[in-house]
Copies of this chain bind each other. A is one copy, B any other.
Amino acid sequence: MKPKIQDVAKVAGVSPTTVSRVLNDRGYISSKTKEKVFEAMKEINYVPNDLARSLYNKRSYLIGVIVPSTSNPFFGELVAYIENICDERGYKVLLCNSLHEADKEKKYWEMLRRNQVDGVIVVTYNRGLIDKKQQFPAVAIDHYLAENIHVVSSDNFQGGEMASRELIKAGCKKIIHINGDASLETPANNRQYAYEKVMQEAGRTAETYHIPDVAFLESNIDIIKQLFKERPDVDGIFASDDLLAVRTMQYAESLGYRVPQDLKIIGYDGTCLIRSIYPKLTTIIQPTYQIAENAVETLIQEIDGKTHDTKEKTFPVSLWKGETTGE
């Protein structure tokens, strides 16, 4: 059997109350008693039961994190940061990969509630799952969940502008944007709005192709094929994420386009991974660490009962100048 506080008490010759006090460094305790207790704990290899603690304290120090899938490098990196920051702050992470399935996400929410998490960080659409009586503090990254839910994101508008201007500057005549699922309103849509604004200011026509979200990177390439069929004169593409950018580039090359001579491409996200293995890809770098940090900090503040004036926080992006938009 795992040793419990009573066992420690017996060995140390004190009451359970005293052991608990030592454990929590609470109230006055003679240093002699303290020492006895610590020795007893070591002797029987005691470790407190956090389940029991959490039950009494109504505080689990558990945070639920819901992402589509850590198999996507952006989410994998984001989750790694989130978890490590949580760990530094004394919180533990219950991981949920929703695979873009509303059903799965719904079950995860209930699971998190049952497990008494102190709060949740959500990086998925959450199709209306949160609207009623909110059970616990939540912070969203790059998604609007509900009126009162804090959302953290990169400056998607700035990123969209940067990307679009980069293509114009590189001399592209026919610039097309490829974006994700169009059916839901997310901060990431600002990338598209910025693109449209820049195109308009430059007297161009904006045109966006949408790729539906799919689990595990297996997104079909049909939309990309359609794009090149309908717009063979395309010479600039702003893809809303790097994987999409790379796959579009590959398809274009298979069609005979040379990048960057015939076609210039810029992506979005700029994960460490992509910059490491695809440094040639021009892209917009999201400040992923800052996003993770702000999400965790904001959530912990809400857990601690502090309210926030601002319900939205945005971090500036930066340009990674590769070779896919020319020299």
Instruction: Give the residue among A70, A243, A278, A279 with the most B Cβ atoms within 10 A.
Output: A70
Assign chain A's interface to a size class: 35 or more
Encoded as 1 (CB less than 8 Å from any B CB) or 0, chain A from 264 to 302 comes to 000000011100111100000000000000000000000
Contact of A76 among B45, B72, B81, B84 (CB under 8 A): B72
Encoded as 1 (CB less than 8 Å from any B CB) or 0, chain A from 131 to 167 comes to 0010000000000000000000000000000000000
Residue A240 at the chain B interface, CB threshold 8 Å: no
Give, as a whole number of angstroms, the nearest-CB distance from A212 to chain B.
Answer: 16
Task: Give the CA-CA distance A273 to B216 in the complex, in Å.
Answer: 9
Known contacts A76-B70, A77-B71; is A47 also within 8 Å of B114 by CB?
yes
User: Do B50 and A114 touch (CB < 8 A)?
Assistant: yes
User: Do B49 and A273 touch (CB < 8 A)?
Assistant: no
Residue A126 at the chain B interface, CB threshold 8 Å: no
Residue A205 at the chain B interface, CB threshold 8 Å: no
Residue A113 at the chain B interface, CB threshold 8 Å: yes
Encoded as 1 (CB less than 8 Å from any B CB) or 0, chain A from 34 to 50 comes to 00000000000101111
Give, as a whole number of angstroms, the nearest-CB distance from A226 to chain B.
Answer: 19
